[in-house]
Amino acid sequence: MICVVGGGVAGLVAAYQLTRAGQAVTIMESADRLGGQVWTESVGGFLIEHGAEGYAAGRGSANSLVADLQLTGRLVSQLTTHSMILRCGRLEPLSVSDAARVVGIQADRTDLGHGIASFRGGAGELVTALSAAIACRATVRLGSRVTRLTPQPGGSWQISTTQGDEVEADAVILATPAAPAAELVAPLSREAAEILDSFQTASSVSVSLACPASAVTLPPGAGGFVSPSGVEDEGFRACDFASAKFPGRSPNGFVLLRAFFRPGREWPLEAPDGRWVEFAVDAVWPALGIRTRPVRAWVARWPGALPRYAANHGESLQAVARLLGGGPPLQLAGAAYRASGVAGAIESARAAAHCLATGTT
């Protein structure tokens, strides 16, 4: 049996690939739901993306997975063609690549210009399809946080959880961000843990806001606007015109917007939802000339969720693999280790599953 620690997109894709190869798989997920940073909610006709809204449309591995899951017919492409930047209180046109640079998105050059692909029912359709695909072939344990990995004399792993369970596995995939992975590998290799701990991340808060369509006129063809502040600055970073960007995101007569923030001293991550709504209204409403209150609002907090890749990222991962290579099989999977976003998580998970299925590193 192979244990996948983490039930986000990377963990689900790894489990999907392994079960297709005939492997028995158990997913250990500490939360009470699967999907990780892909979390779609449908409320009163609004389709809310609390996390990722889709994947980079130009990524072949993601498109291949979508085809395997028979989701191609559910795909929707961006309806918008460009972004905007807020300068001196006015919105000015901005290219997609420049928008990514301004907000500090470390996108692959090949991703730029292809836009984002999503699904009619939101990005959560990918999680639903993966969950269904492994339902009869994998064991999923929600609310089960792994606390320790112990190598066994026979070349297997003993996995301990907060529930007091002990599970035996032939191999492990850590489909978690770098910080929790570092905690688990620390007893195995302090040096590997220190490398993983050195991986930088940024936190994010998104605020989805609904308002009457009569209260706002969005710039034609624009998918949103970005703040001209520095890449590492705290506070307001960007606003997505969610209902203009993809079809079916709001009921008739309403507009759905989504504001993104980098939390900090003046914008504390733990601030109550009502305060975050005020932050978003103060940042977005003047730029769009909105004078009514939002009719609905949703807040999502993502502490340490955005990986920041250093120039030596690849060399660091190779060092971790060498340091952990003397024990039972163990692989890392997720956007923290290969490339950003949902597509990066898919690619990383497929690579990790392939290594275990073929016995390679």
Distance of alpha carbon 52 from alpha carbon 30, whole angstroms: 20
Distance of alpha carbon 318 from alpha carbon 313, whole angstroms: 9
- Tokens 């969720």 -> residue: 305
pLDDT per residue as tens, the chain (361 positions) = 999 999 999 999 999 999 999 999 999 999 999 999 999 999 999 999 999 999 988 778 899 999 999 999 999 999 988 899 998 888 988 876 666 666 556 555 555 556 899 999 999 999 999 999 999 999 999 999 999 999 999 899 999 999 888 899 999 999 999 999 999 999 999 999 999 999 999 999 999 999 999 999 999 999 999 998 766 789 999 999 999 999 999 999 999 999 999 999 999 999 999 999 999 999 999 999 999 999 999 999 999 999 999 999 999 999 999 999 989 999 999 999 988 899 999 999 999 999 998 876 6
Number of other CB atoms surrounding residue 94 within 10 Å: 22
Beta bridge partner(s), residue 28: 5, 141
> In 3D, which of 245, 214, 222 has the Cα closest to residue 123?
245
Half-sphere exposure of 351 (CA within 13 A, CB side): 17
pLDDT of the residue at 12: 98
Buried residues in 207-238 as b, exposed as e (16+ CB within 10 A): bbbbbeeebbebbeebbbbbbeeeeeebebbb
List the structure tokens of 133: 């695909």
Domains and CATH numbers, the chain: 2-37+127-199+310-358 (3.50.50.60), 79-114+201-307 (3.90.660.20)
Q: Looking at this protein, which amino acid is placed at residue 320? A: V
Cα distances (angstroms) measured from residue 247 to each of 118, 122, 146, 161: 10, 10, 39, 42
Compute the CA torsion angle 174, 176, 179, 182 (nearest 10 deg).
Answer: 0
